[in-house]
A and B are shown apart, each in its own frame.
Chain A
């Protein structure tokens, strides 16, 4: 369905020295610089597959997605999306894809979302009966039936994102690109959107590529993960295997009633950070249960949380290990 070969994208920009002097100098002389946002990336995606792009800020995930959807021209390389070259921007290609961006919106701000859906119906030339069926079905799945006639500006961020997704699916695209669809949403909204995407992918067999900062998005939805770092593809395979490659570890944040010596904490795990009565420990996943019960039974605890190691850190560790793409 999607084949990407040696895709590269360079951006040209100007160096700007700080201060007024730099600005004045800029009028007469500009030093042109080139940034390679995406470097020689190759991969392929099967029909109906749901894959996740992971990577830190500025890694090149969104740039790749924009090239796959025809928004940007590449500097070199080739892409075939269902037989089309995206940046030819043919109307037939655009009917087969859709893109949702967590930080951009296509809905009319002052009107109810249903009006924007109707505009998309007209743009994509969908029949009245198909349109009714699709909107009813998607509104039910996304649980937004009651919000159809509320102006977009009055919706919460989570509700708005659901409406954005609905608007993007009106024409039943074969391929859906999602760029950080859960960014800034509360946990419940994130979960709802994940559930919807999972059901939708299963029902419609839509090919989905999703970029996210949240490991939970990718874990819940994608059987396969592509990790991009500094423009390069550094991993392509199941997410679980990354954890095995890295050795899965957790972070325990603990707040005690009184400050304790670092040596006390070292008996439970590796001390990452210690600040008076607050400490962050790194513990191997298989030891978490024992460490937690030991801390709870031996120390006077005020607050306690267990979290994943931040994705940026995992990826950066992964990248530093220079593990080859399987």
Chain B
């Protein structure tokens, strides 16, 4: 518990300093928000088209789809909050910039992957996502109460942890290959499969995306849980996959760090 408070406090300082640093460059900050809003509007167009067509996709009505896209937006915002640290990792490895972080007495993985937070991306995605979730939830007449809300938030948190763990993995390859641009681009492209609910994809594709490379678990499970569409095994997997992949990212991080060779000064 003491450790959690310690890390939350440091995270609070990172958040404050990141915001203070971002506000030093006002135009860039405002441009970031504007670009993210533009991207968000494109995503909203998909929902608008579905509403206009008025057709269901399997068991999903347009209201359900609104909810699913809302979850996707919220988790995209959360990922964008810290993803700049992931893309900075190969450069840090190449230029030996981990040196002064390694000697700090706290988790290096936490320090490197959370030290810069980008609020320009988080704020619009979070605001629009929450509105869409609440609207979709109400229009689809999904259950409201302690258990549905707690379960929904639980799988949302699991999704956030799984995003972190799953998308960090390709960047860790930089300890071996230094440059990981190509692999990172593919993994980021995979994220867009969550643009729409996984039910629009074929059965086998869905299974691979749920149990082998579990990107569908991230944004689909909170909504499917609300709809009562998660089997007991899926309920278990939704909680186990984030832990499993987080453990994998931890193990690979520690292993990769032994390869760190710094850079000549």
Known contacts A73-B258, A119-B17, A123-B10; is A94 also within 8 Å of B103 by CB? yes
In-complex Cβ contact of A91 among B98, B101, B105 (8 A): B105
The smallest C-beta distance from B4 to any residue of chain A, in angstroms, reads 14
Query: Are B103 and A71 neighbours in the complex by a CB distance under 8 Å?
Result: yes
Q: Which single residue of chain A is at the shortest CB-CB distance from B24? A: A110
Q: Mark B96-115, 1 if CB is under 8 A from A, else 0.
A: 11111111111000000000
A124 contacts the other chain (Cβ, under 8 Å)?
A: yes
The smallest C-beta distance from A88 to any residue of chain B, in angstroms, reads 12
Q: Which single residue of chain A is at the shortest CB-CB distance from B98? A: A71
A321 contacts the other chain (Cβ, under 8 Å)?
A: no
B20 contacts the other chain (Cβ, under 8 Å)?
A: yes
B57 contacts the other chain (Cβ, under 8 Å)?
A: no
A125 contacts the other chain (Cβ, under 8 Å)?
A: yes
Query: Are A122 and B13 neighbours in the complex by a CB distance under 8 Å?
Result: yes
The smallest C-beta distance from B84 to any residue of chain A, in angstroms, reads 15
Query: Are B260 and A72 neighbours in the complex by a CB distance under 8 Å?
Result: yes
Query: Are B262 and A70 neighbours in the complex by a CB distance under 8 Å?
Result: no
| Interfacial residues of chain B within 1-28, with CB under 8 A of chain A in the complex | 6, 9-10, 13, 17, 20-21, 24-25
A122 vs B264: C-alpha distance when bound (angstroms): 30
Q: Which single residue of chain A is at the shortest CB-CB distance from B6? A: A125
A25 contacts the other chain (Cβ, under 8 Å)?
A: no
A239 vs B101: C-alpha distance when bound (angstroms): 33
A108 vs B20: C-alpha distance when bound (angstroms): 11
Known contacts A73-B258, A110-B21, A122-B9; is A101 also within 8 Å of B99 by CB? yes
Known contacts A101-B99, A103-B265, A106-B100; is A95 also within 8 Å of B105 by CB? yes
Known contacts A58-B264, A122-B9; is A108 also within 8 Å of B105 by CB? no
Query: Are A99 and B262 neighbours in the complex by a CB distance under 8 Å?
Result: no
Query: Are B102 and A89 neighbours in the complex by a CB distance under 8 Å?
Result: yes
Q: Mark A69-102, 1 if CB is under 8 A from B, else 0.
A: 1111100000000000000010110110111011
Complex contacts, B25 vs chain A, CB 8 Å: 110
A108 vs B17: C-alpha distance when bound (angstroms): 8
Known contacts A97-B103, A98-B103, A110-B24; is A115 also within 8 Å of B262 by CB? no
Q: Which single residue of chain B is at the shortest CB-CB distance from A167? A: B100
Query: Are B17 and A111 neighbours in the complex by a CB distance under 8 Å?
Result: yes
A64 contacts the other chain (Cβ, under 8 Å)?
A: no
A104 contacts the other chain (Cβ, under 8 Å)?
A: yes
A180 contacts the other chain (Cβ, under 8 Å)?
A: yes
Complex contacts, B98 vs chain A, CB 8 Å: 71
The smallest C-beta distance from A191 to any residue of chain B, in angstroms, reads 23
| Residue with the greatest number of chain A CB neighbours at <10 A, chosen from B21, B99, B265 | B265
Known contacts A110-B24, A111-B20, A111-B21; is A70 also within 8 Å of B106 by CB? no
Complex contacts, A43 vs chain B, CB 8 Å: none
| Interfacial residues of chain B within 107-149, with CB under 8 A of chain A in the complex | none
A200 contacts the other chain (Cβ, under 8 Å)?
A: no
A111 vs B102: C-alpha distance when bound (angstroms): 22
Q: Which single residue of chain B is at the shortest CB-CB distance from A107? A: B100
Known contacts A94-B104, A94-B105, A108-B21; is A72 also within 8 Å of B265 by CB? no
Interface residues of A, Cβ cutoff 8 Å to B: 11, 58, 62, 66, 69-73, 89, 91-92, 94-95, 97-99, 101-106, 108-111, 115, 118-119, 122-125, 151, 179-180
Extra inter-chain contacts (5) besides given A108-B21, A110-B20, CB under 8 Å = A58-B264, A70-B102, A71-B98, A71-B103, A106-B100
Interface residues of B, Cβ cutoff 8 Å to A: 6, 9-10, 13, 17, 20-21, 24-25, 96-106, 258, 260-262, 264-265
